[in-house]
């Protein structure tokens, strides 16, 4: 067989197993989710009827869904804005080599590398209603009332804040790693030249370094948004969506409806509300990647 012919069929043949697997277990289930969302499918009943857009309009009409939608947007945007702000500071500070950098990096990576459910259960103990060490430290510093300490996971607004902050804690290392990779890729001499020309510390960072890493900041932000908008683990472990749906997000509501409640159709409809934002994120990420390729 000629090398050219071999080349023509070998490529597709080597890609095929992965593509077939992904088509069967990702593409097909996406289509199944679309199908369920316009049906009346339930666990344990084999008869499935077409239900039109009833599941979507039904979801939109329930207060629980509207709360979850609002919480999801708040949870995602607030935590990821905090992450980008914190990660930028941290990445700029970590850029220079110093003694003990390896150990510091390990400590900083821990929240991201530890299984998410285990980090979250650690926080459940840190924020315990009776033995919270966070409250102990705050009352030691006279910042909270020791007799009547805040119930971090028990009051609606505080619970939402806790969930956002724990998720910020967990995703900050990931954004820091991405930004650090971006920072090391910009030529060192440009900020240095700016400093020689008399630009101060702030000027160098804000007028030179940050604009240069703007695309990578956007990549870190978009990845964080896509990851956070679709995450249910932080909420599920810390509050199970409570108290009274105060921290319910779309993915956890889909889980409670579709898996625990057995309402496949309703659950699928709720989870499909994740799709528009995912699509925007994916398109923006691809566009950034393409622009990076051209230049």
Partner 1 sequence: MAGRGARTAHRLVVAVFAIVLSFPFYWMALTSFKRTSDLYELKNNPLLFNESPTLSHWKLLFTGTLFPRWLGNTLAVGLAVVAITLVLAMPAAYALARLTGKWGERAGIGMFLMYLVPPTLLFIPLSRVVALLGLQDTLWALIVVYPTFTVPFATWLLMGFFKSIPKDLEDAAMVDGLTRFQAFVRVVVPISFSGLVTVSIFAFTLVLQEFVYALTFISSASSQTVGVGVPIYLVRGDVYYWGELMAACLFASLPVAIVYNLFLDRLIQGFTVGAVR
74 belongs to the binding site for partner 1 (CB under 8 A):
no
Q: Going along the chain, which residue ranges are E strands?
A: none
Closer Cβ to partner 1, 53 or 106, answer by number: 106
Least gap, CB of 1 to partner 1 (angstroms): 9
210 belongs to the binding site for partner 1 (CB under 8 A):
no
Closer Cβ to partner 1, 61 or 97, answer by number: 97
Among 97, 118, 141, 294, binds partner 1 (CB under 8 A): 118
CA torsion 117→122→127→128, rounded to 10°? 100
Cα–Cα nearest to 280, from 76, 66, 20, 83: 76
Among 15, 53, 143, 244, binds partner 1 (CB under 8 A): 15
113 belongs to the binding site for partner 1 (CB under 8 A):
yes
Of residues 260 through 289, those in contact with partner 1 by CB under 8 A are 264, 267-268, 271-272, 274-275, 278, 281-282, 285-286, 289
Least gap, CB of 157 to partner 1 (angstroms): 22
Cα–Cα nearest to 167, from 103, 227, 217: 227
Radius of gyration of the chain (CA): 24
Closer Cβ to partner 1, 133 or 190, answer by number: 133
Of residues 119 through 138, those in contact with partner 1 by CB under 8 A are 119-126, 128, 130-131, 133, 136-137
Cα-Cα-Cα-Cα dihedral sign, residues 201, 203, 209, 214: positive
Binding residues for partner 1, rule CB under 8 A, total 96
Q: SS3 for 50?
A: strand
Of residues 88 through 107, those in contact with partner 1 by CB under 8 A are 89-90, 92-94, 96, 98, 102, 104-107
111 belongs to the binding site for partner 1 (CB under 8 A):
yes
Q: Find how far residue 188's CA is from the centre of its chain.
A: 31
* Environment class of 55 (CB within 10 Å of its CB; exposed 0-12, middle 13-18, buried 19+): buried
Among 177, 183, 225, 246, binds partner 1 (CB under 8 A): 177
Question: Any idea what DSSP says for residue 160?
Answer: H
Cβ-proximal residues to 215 (8 Å cutoff; 6+ apart), any chain:
182, 288, 291, 292
Of residues 25 through 44, those in contact with partner 1 by CB under 8 A are 25-30, 32-33, 36
Cα–Cα nearest to 72, from 229, 219, 212: 229
169 belongs to the binding site for partner 1 (CB under 8 A):
yes
Cα–Cα nearest to 158, from 64, 241, 250, 246: 246
Of residues 217 through 236, those in contact with partner 1 by CB under 8 A are 226, 230-233, 236
Part in contact with partner 1 (CB under 8 A); list of ranges 50-58, 60-68, 74-82, 170-178: 170-178
């Amino acid at each position: 067989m000629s090398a050219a012919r071999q080349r023509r069929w070998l490529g597709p043949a080597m890609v095929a197993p992965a593509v077939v697997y992904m088509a069967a277990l990702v593409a097909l289930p996406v289509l199944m989710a679309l199908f369920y969302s316009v049906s009346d499918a339930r666990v344990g009943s084999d008869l499935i009827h077409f239900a039109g857009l009833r599941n979507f309009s039904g979801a939109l009409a329930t207060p629980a869904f509207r709360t979850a939608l609002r919480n999801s947007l708040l949870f995602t945007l607030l935590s990821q804005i905090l992450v980008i702000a914190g990660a930028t500071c941290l990445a700029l500070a970590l850029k220079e080599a110093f003694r003990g950098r390896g150990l510091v990096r390990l400590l900083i990576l821990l929240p991201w590398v530890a299984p998410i459910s285990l980090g979250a259960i650690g926080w459940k103990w840190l924020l315990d209603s009776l033995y919270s060490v966070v409250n102990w430290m705050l009352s030691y510093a006279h910042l909270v009332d020791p007799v009547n300490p805040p119930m971090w996971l028990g009051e609606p607004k505080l619970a939402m804040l806790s969930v956002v902050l724990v998720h910020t804690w967990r995703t900050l290392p990931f954004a820091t790693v991405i930004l650090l990779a971006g920072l090391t890729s910009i030529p060192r001499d440009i900020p240095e030249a700016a400093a020689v020309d008399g630009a101060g510390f702030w000027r160098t960072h804000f007028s030179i370094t940050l604009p240069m890493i703007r695309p990578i900041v956007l990549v870190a932000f978009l990845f964080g948004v896509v990851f956070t908008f679709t995450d249910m683990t932080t909420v599920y472990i810390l509050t199970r969506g409570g108290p009274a749906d105060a921290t319910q997000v779309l993915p956890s509501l889909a889980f409670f409806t579709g898996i625990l409640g057995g309402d496949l159709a309703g659950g699928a409809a709720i989870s499909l509300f994740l799709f528009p934002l995912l699509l925007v994120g994916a398109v923006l990420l691809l566009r950034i990647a393409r622009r990076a390729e051209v230049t």
